[in-house]
Amino acid sequence: MTDIARLIEIVEPEAAALGFDLVRVKMMPSEAGDGGMALQIMAEDPATGQLVIDQCAALSRAVSDAMDAAEESGETLVEGAYHLEVSSPGIDRPLTRAKDFADWAGHEAKVSMIKGFDGPRAVRGELIGIDGETVTIADNKAGKVAFPLEAIHSAKLVLTDALIAATQPLDTAGAEEVQEDEEEKA
């Protein structure tokens, strides 16, 4: 079993050294459809809330080097074969930290609770925010619902026009230099 807490101990300083905030570290089935596993690392540049390709590549190299060093010293960080995926959280980003619930208040979110939670298993509606360790959402069906941060299994923003309008665009410098070849018409 992969120790995510240990991976975070390795990944977070590498992200911070590059000026990024770590959003999530997660082991998940590979999207390559090969039956393998992927170590997914999401990070963001605090200035934009996103990462561009060069930033993802820099973080990937730094994390790979740090993990290789730990494994060369005898640690087994991930059992079995896997591949590393480093990405930006995207517009409909996961909400994983207390600050996410504060920063994205006013936007629609979808939250699933952990098994055994005494209350609604899933809520969806406007994220009101977080007070201490209590998250509040104006659920579309149940009205205002408050629950502890620790009761959340997963949470993410819902892609809406308001979210798109509020999200800073990626740096488009150089986009005007992209050339497209016209297809020959038969």
Q: What is the pLDDT of residues 61-104, one digit of tens each?
A: 999 999 999 999 999 999 888 899 999 998 899 999 999 999 99
Q: What is the pLDDT of residue 175?
A: 46
pLDDT at 27: 93
Please tell me the predicted confidence (pLDDT) of residue 7. Answer: 96
CATH of domain 98-166: 2.30.30.100
Q: In this predicted structure, what is the pLDDT of residue 138?
A: 97
- What pTM did the predictor assign? 0.81
Q: How far apart are CA 46 and CA 17, in angstroms?
A: 13
- At residue 182 the predicted structure's pLDDT band, cuts being 50, 70 and 90, is very low
> Considering the domain 4-87, what is its CATH architecture?
2-Layer Sandwich (3.30)
Same fold, 4-87 and 98-166: no
Domain locations in the chain?
A: 4-87, 98-166
**pLDDT tens, 115-174?**
999 989 999 999 999 999 999 999 999 999 999 999 999 999 999 999 988 886 655 554
pLDDT, tens digit (0-9, with 9 covering 90-100), for 14-43: 999 999 999 999 999 877 667 788 999 999
